[in-house]
Structure 1
């Protein structure tokens, strides 16, 4: 694998669900206009500007920003402390959906339908606007809320079929990178995905789900995103129809 602005990788594998841990926090639902998923690595010299852009997006109220740390840079001398094989498999799934022969970092996938260099904020904004204007934005209302009894998810009516996916992430993770292309840097990563799991299915009619309190965890700094996402016959992730965010609980 050559070290360049884009990291290419060529192994394909299927999506794998991960154990879904829980979060607590303020609910923000029905206000999102788009989802940006960044595929990044602590070992990629081109990624810090994209990580900074993702941090900026994570502070917006109208965009759901998630960061997936991939593991195919790990052999270059620094093992990304936030990386997982599941994150890499999700990116390869998007490669199939987008009809690409390879993957790269930093790649930002927009609403599951298009992609751009994750550092190019203007391009990401243009894609979000273009998808919304063409009717391919977040068109199905999704909301989520937490209570002592568990996590409640409500999906409105619409057209099509999709999976209801819970994505758990760490709000902020500060890492001192000791080796690799970013050796010597200390970077704070935002909304780094820990796990995701399909928790239900949607067939166009309004549906309400509730996850039991036993899956909830009150650990400060953990957030939860709900994605209403179409999935291909091969399990590859596709268009995101709706989304909601439960922000992390802040320490007392």
Structure 2
């Protein structure tokens, strides 16, 4: 993990460049995480709801594909044990007996079945009050993005600064398993995540190489400031990436 005093993150160059334009502030944008699987027949309605939420300018919507349903006949190509572990941290934080799909978590503090529209929308509004720390992303030069996190109060003393790289959309023809014969559309599919720093309530700047942003040549990226091991999200920002040569 990168310590908060180490603001320069070293990584191998990868093919991505930040779309030029103004920095995007993340203050009061609610992070909405959907834990889903292409192998789960209950997930398509939640996938569709997340697609709707992704169109809102007050929400950062992210799809995390878990791997524990891969044995049902269809291996989700976007699934990762790392995303399952992230959901398990939430299970412990919420005091739940087990993980499940589809699950939507808003602001790190509100959770519900991902297809229960009313509960999801109410959870977003409840979570909004906690996300008051301003997060900005600028790019002082072509090779560097500058993440600025404002001052605030971290209830646990410190928080993790996460980078999530995502694909804006995938359409998949499912050939086996519970969703066999269905074409699934998944929105803002997280393909890589990395800790890039720690925040202790003081203003913090982290310089991140642009090449790091699209860890697998993704077209979007989010910065999320969150208490350790799942919990309150204090602030977030998202911004587009452009694949090199596109």
Q: TM-score, normalised by structure 2?
A: 0.85
Task: Give the aligned partner of residue 46 of structure 1.
Answer: 42
Q: Does structure 2 conserve the Cα–Cα contact (< 8 Å) formed by 1:140 and 1:156?
A: yes
Q: How far off its partner does 1:124 sit?
A: 1.3
Matches within 5 A, 1:39-188: 39-132=35-128, 135=129, 137-146=130-139, 147-160=141-154, 161-188=158-185
When residues 225 and 205 of structure 1 are mapped into structure 2, their CA distance, relative to the original with a 3 A threshold, is same
Q: How far off its partner does 1:84 sit?
A: 0.6
Task: Give the aligned partner of residue 241 of structure 1.
Answer: 234
Query: Alpha carbon RMSD of aligned pairs, Å?
Result: 2.3
Q: TM-score, normalised by structure 1?
A: 0.83
- Superposed CA deviations along residues 34-64 of structure 1, whole A, max 9, x for unmatched, are 1110000001111000000001111111001
Tell me whether 24-33 or 198-207 shows the greater mean CA deviation.
Answer: 24-33
When residues 186 and 143 of structure 1 are mapped into structure 2, their CA distance, relative to the original with a 3 A threshold, is same
What residue ranges of structure 1 are gaps of 5+ in the alignment? 1-18
Q: How many residues align?
A: 227
Looking at structure 2, the residues matched to 128 and 23 of structure 1 have their Cα atoms a distance apart, in angstroms, of 31
What residue ranges of structure 2 are gaps of 5+ in the alignment? 1-10
